[in-house]
Chains A and B, each alone.
Chain A
Amino acid sequence: MALDYRKCAQEIVDHIGGRENIAQAAHCATRLRLVIKDNSKVQKDYLENVDGVKGMFESNGQLQLIIGTGTVNKVYDEFLAITGMTEATKDDVKAAAAAKQPLWRRLLKPIGDVFVPILPAIVASGLMMGLVEALGKAVSSFSGTDWYAFLDMISNTAFAFLPVIVAISAARVFGGNIFLGAVIGLAMVHTNLLNGWNVGNKEAINAFFHVTDGVIPQWHLFGPILPIRLTGYQGHVIPVIIAVFLMCKIEKWLHKHVPEMLDLFVVPLVTVLSTTLLTFTIIGPIFSTLETWVLSGAEILVGNVFGAAAMGALYPWTVIMGLHHMYNVIEAGMLGSVGLNTWMPIASAANFAQFGACLAVGLKAKNNKTKVVAVPSALSAALGITEPAIFGVNLRFFKPFICAMVGGIAGSFYGALTKIGATAYGVTGIPGYLTIKQPLQYTILLAISGGIAFILTWTLWKEPETGMKKAAQKAKEEEKTDEAAYERGNVVITSSAGDINKPINGKVISYTEIPDETFASGALGEGVGIIPEGETIFAPFDGVISSVAETNHAVGITGPNDQELLIHVGVDTVMMDGDGFTTMVKEGDEVKTGQPLLVFDDEKIKAAGHPDVVVVLLTNSDDYTDFQYGERLK
């Protein structure tokens, strides 16, 4: 029995809280995708039983109803008619869903996206650094050897040049040129600048700048305002992400507004110059001011037990800001004045709490991807290097981070109460035993902070719903099998030479609307563009493959009546040099209607910054007088 589209759409509208409760609606090959204002008004149980709805799940802030190929568009049309809404693209829906997430989540997301790909580099360094530093402290003769010097250099490479790695990853996430991103990162740790780790070290400053007053020199590019302090950003993360984010915005804006001919002269130059100016004159001073505040604040706080407890909570935030490298100054000061480093127990409590929280995530997570990241990150944190655990795991899920703060508070409080301290500085966590004066109390401190963080995380943190994920994944796979979803029969071009079927599902636009001058001008022939909902191109008629681009992003087919059709995936995708494209045919192959010709990776095209519109042009359209284009049901 045929489905009553109108009834199906009406029932859906009635049980999601009516028109007022819908922010946006779109559909893909199989699903109706809705952004709902108030989820509590959605009657999920009822919806699943609506005739025509095969399943439903929530994902990325969208309510998705699986309706099926060939039906979903008809239900969608009725849906629009009932609600009086206008058609939204999938991207609109995604954007609306993203905007619906709370602000802190939207701010945290890019940090996670930037950090996850670079974790291997910093986990390796973190573990090695922890071990090498511990060995150096444990066996004092070892710290003088060439082996120590070598291992020390290798292990701190990823941290010393962290801004470069972060910048490259961030450029990728924000859609800029990764090499320009690398330049920004490199500028921030340029060898002409004082190593950021030495900011509080007067001797190092004197030696580096050949001065005697221990003051870091400044550049005055704009007279008295906005001086640049000659300091690098070693170990920093947030200023780098902000800088690269700015860079990508500037770069994209310039690409849009600079004539193509001048693009290569103007865009990279202006992008790098304006980004570095903004970074060094504005972002830099904000962070160096913060550094000073944090430093003097920390010195006041550690004076009493409650202050110390507060510091235990604030400590990981200063790691996020990259300000924790300054604390050596406080520790050295303590050793100089009273001979006991009471800062170290606070840092240890905070760091070991990150270990506890991260370990809990690692043990509790069922998702293997999370597990393999969390366990080694936890180990690194136990050795005192917490960046992998914080950025890669705890901060990303956020709740573990809060749990670790609580653990840090308790541990620091205990440490200050018992007045324990270390005789040196530089190590925390397990290696901290090498310098601590009261190993027993130190053990209790670690147990308190790590234990509380672990237990809290274990009980409070829930892995993002796997059930939903499965449903989402299943639906995605369903969408992947484009072949099943491919709507054979819809025609996009007609002429006396024969009909040309739609080679891929998606919204059909006129060639004049294709975002590319050459295609839109008709210089290559007339036809259509298709905003793809799928990643496979199917032969639109029986014919012979007359050309396959060497970069696999375009094919030409000649039909029995000499129709010469060009199918070109995306705009400017020749630049991708074949990455993300695979063709299943070669020149001279005979193909039948509906045979798959080419698959492409839509995400890669978007990531490379190109429009993904599939261009379908009859290159010899002017040979036909009765040529017509536009989607039409056969």
Chain B
Amino acid sequence: MKEFKYTITDPVGIHARPAGLLVKEVKKFASRIQIVSKDGKAADGKKLLALMGLGIRQGDEVTVTVEGDDEADAAAAIEKFLKENL
């Protein structure tokens, strides 16, 4: 399992538009990918509504866990994606 932390810088947080892009990215991988908010709520990265339901705003730190056959590639790609888009 891979795990890393990231602090959201996008002014609207993980809202519809960025969340949709994130889901698209996550769906490229077979691994199970979870986004965990700082109060411990976890969401399946492939489910848009669950992600939005975390209510993550600008400045919040999230933990991303990746588990599966392509976890190394997935973790790297998602970290890159977050840095570029969120």
Contacts and interface: CB of A to CB of B under 8 A. Distances in A.
A629 to B, nearest CB: 17
Interface stretch (A127-135, A342-350, A485-493, A549-557): A549-557
Interface stretch (A427-435, A518-526, A529-537): A518-526
Nearest to A557: B49
A: contact size bracket:
20 to 34
Nearest to A619: B48
B54 to A, nearest CB: 8
Given A523-B24, A620-B47, A574 B15 contact: yes
A558 interface: yes
A587 B53 contact: yes
A568 interface: yes
Given A550-B57, A564-B47, A574-B15, A523 B52 contact: no
A488 B78 CA distance: 42
Interface in B34-61: 47-50, 52-53, 55, 57
B48 A564 contact: yes
A575 B20 CA distance: 18
Contacts of B23: 524, 619
B16 interface: yes
Interface string B71-82: 000000000000
Contacts of B19: 524
Contacts of A566: 16, 48-49, 52
Main secondary structure of the interface of B (DSSP, over half): helix
B1 interface: no
B20 A549 contact: no
A463 B17 CA distance: 49
Given A518-B17, A524-B20, A547 B50 contact: yes
A590 to B, nearest CB: 15
A423 interface: no
Contacts of A548: 53
A547 B53 contact: yes
Interface string A348-390: 0000000000000000000000000000000000000000000
A557 B52 CA distance: 11
A546 interface: yes
Contacts of B17: 518, 524
A619 B27 CA distance: 13
B49 A523 contact: no
Interface in A498-531: 518, 523-525
Contacts of A587: 53
B20 A556 contact: no
A524 B22 CA distance: 10
Interface in A551-594: 554, 556-558, 564-566, 568, 574-575, 587
B75 to A, nearest CB: 22
Contact of B15 (A523, A546, A549, A565): A549
Nearest to B24: A523
A554 B16 contact: yes
A565 B19 CA distance: 14
Nearest to B27: A622
B16 A574 contact: yes
Interface string A602-634: 000000000000000001100000000000000
Contacts of A556: 48-49, 52-53
Contacts of B55: 547, 549-550
A550 B49 CA distance: 13
A490 to B, nearest CB: 23
B73 to A, nearest CB: 22
Contacts of B47: 564, 619-620
B15 A558 contact: no
B12 interface: yes
A20 B85 CA distance: 55
Contact of A518 (B13, B20, B49, B52): B20
A558 B53 CA distance: 12
A274 B33 CA distance: 50
Given A523-B20, A523-B24, A546 B12 contact: no
B49 A546 contact: yes
Contact of B52 (A525, A547, A575, A620): A547
A574 B55 CA distance: 13
Contacts of B12: 574-575
B53 A523 contact: no
B52 A554 contact: yes
Given A547-B52, A556-B52, A566-B49, A524 B57 contact: no
A547 B49 contact: yes
Contacts of A550: 13, 55, 57
Interface of A: 518, 523-525, 546-550, 554, 556-558, 564-566, 568, 574-575, 587, 619-620
25 contacts: A518-B21, A523-B21, A523-B24, A524-B16, A524-B48, A546-B49, A547-B49, A547-B50, A547-B52, A548-B53, A550-B55, A554-B52, A556-B48, A556-B52, A558-B49, A564-B48, A564-B49, A565-B49, A566-B48, A566-B52, A568-B16, A574-B16, A575-B12, A619-B20, A619-B49
Which 7 pairs from chain A and chain B are nearest by CB? A547-B53, A556-B49, A524-B20, A619-B48, A546-B49, A547-B52, A518-B17
Interface of B: 12-13, 15-17, 19-21, 23-24, 47-50, 52-53, 55, 57
